[in-house]
Amino acid sequence: MKKKQQHPGGGADPWPHGAPLGGAPPALGSWKRRVPLLPFLRFSLRDYGFCMATLLVFCLGSLLYQLSGGPPRFLLDLRQYLGNSTYLDDHGPPPSKVLPFPSQVVYNRVGKCGSRTVVLLLRILSEKHGFNLVTSDIHNKTRLTKNEQMELIKNISTAEQPYLFTRHVHFLNFSRFGGDQPVYINIIRDPVNRFLSNYFFRRFGDWRGEQNHMIRTPSMRQEERYLDINECILENYPECSNPRLFYIIPYFCGQHPRCREPGEWALERAKLNVNENFLLVGILEELEDVLLLLERFLPHYFKGVLSIYKDPEHRKLGNMTVTVKKTVPSPEAVQILYQRMRYEYEFYHYVKEQFHLLKRKFGLKSRVSKPLLRPHFFIPTPLETDEPIDDEEQDDEKWLEDIYKR
């Protein structure tokens, strides 16, 4: 006759046919002994207490998160240490393209102010840096109707970013039509020199081809094409008088009809737009400094531009854009031009002063220590006027290169 199995605590065994699956609960006085629940799962009272404490900490942390309106500082530090990666980062759609700031730049280039040289540089830079260079085949329409402004702004705003749009066009107010106002850049030059360059370019083109001027002005009569510049100025021909001479300011004043009328209103509005909407307005006579500052301000677009500009191969291409057959008018004619362009010169000197202030902030020296209130009309030769390529002394080249290398 079999003896009944005795329970360790005394008395009969409550499970005479074996403990149920998972094992029996421990008897009194044996809490520290591990009892198997499943073949692959074992726990003790200490493990159970640890789990409950962890759950309590989690609940308190969640409550603290909700009461304080955000995660505790240590969680933020831990997130920063471990990174902000989430499940969606690894398994969701690819992240959107990170755009440089600013990602919308407009270069509403002023005619005969080195714009073809800059556009040539931009074509090289766009391929190098991968931004979208948006150009226009329209070269002779700077004043737009309201509908034309809306259409152009729409086309520019929908371009793939980052973009740089360039065209000969007067300032456009994007915000007026509900668009995001882009960053503007531009370059101007001495107004008389700009006028002379344009006068002879319309008639005789540049070194890129003798037929260039015939394409631009096919209807110009021969007597008009070979009209002496002094006669045009002294006899007050339309091309050499206002409002034709009022050319630079409208590019900064805008599309308002009064922007095309020489006067204080257009001048002051142009200054206001320069201060509020233009990142940089440079001076062509100091083109290398302009390129250097553009590289500092807009590295995603202009990084390396100065080295490209100084490259001998680019200099050859730059020399092809110099206006040919340019002559110097008489001092009397130049003084008359200056009187007719007094607002243009006031704006030019204002921009030049702002440009020199900006250069000083970056440690660049200006060629003129004290800018003159009124210019002396020494008219440089054509090569010195259009593109300042080889007119620097060696010392000036050295200090500019040293700054560029910093």
* Active site members: 168
Strands (E), 7-70: 35-38, 41-43
- 390 within 8 A of 318, measured Cβ to Cβ: no
- 191 within 8 A of 341, measured Cβ to Cβ: yes
DSSP codes, 376-397: ------HHHHH--SS---HHHH
Going by their DSSP bridges, the two strands 41-43 and 35-38 should be labelled as antiparallel
- 133 within 8 A of 126, measured Cβ to Cβ: yes
**Taking the CB of residue 316, how many other CB atoms lie within 10 A of it?**
10
Give the CB-side neighbour count of residue 172, counting CA atoms within 13 A: 34
CA distance 224 to 252: 30
CA distance 23 to 36: 6
**Taking the CB of residue 362, how many other CB atoms lie within 10 A of it?**
12
Q: Euclidean distance between the first and final Cα of the chain, in Å?
A: 103
- 293 within 8 A of 358, measured Cβ to Cβ: yes
From 159, 117, 157, select the one nearest 318 (Cα to Cα): 117
- 34 within 8 A of 42, measured Cβ to Cβ: yes
Please give the single-letter amino acid code of residue 345. Answer: Y
**Taking the CB of residue 216, how many other CB atoms lie within 10 A of it?**
14
**In residues, how long is the chain?**
406
CA distance 405 to 379: 34
CA distance 186 to 170: 11
CA distance 390 to 282: 19
The two tokens of residue 135 are 């150009």
The two tokens of residue 108 are 């509403």
Q: Is 234 exposed, middle or buried (0-12, 13-18, 19+ CB in 10 A)?
A: middle
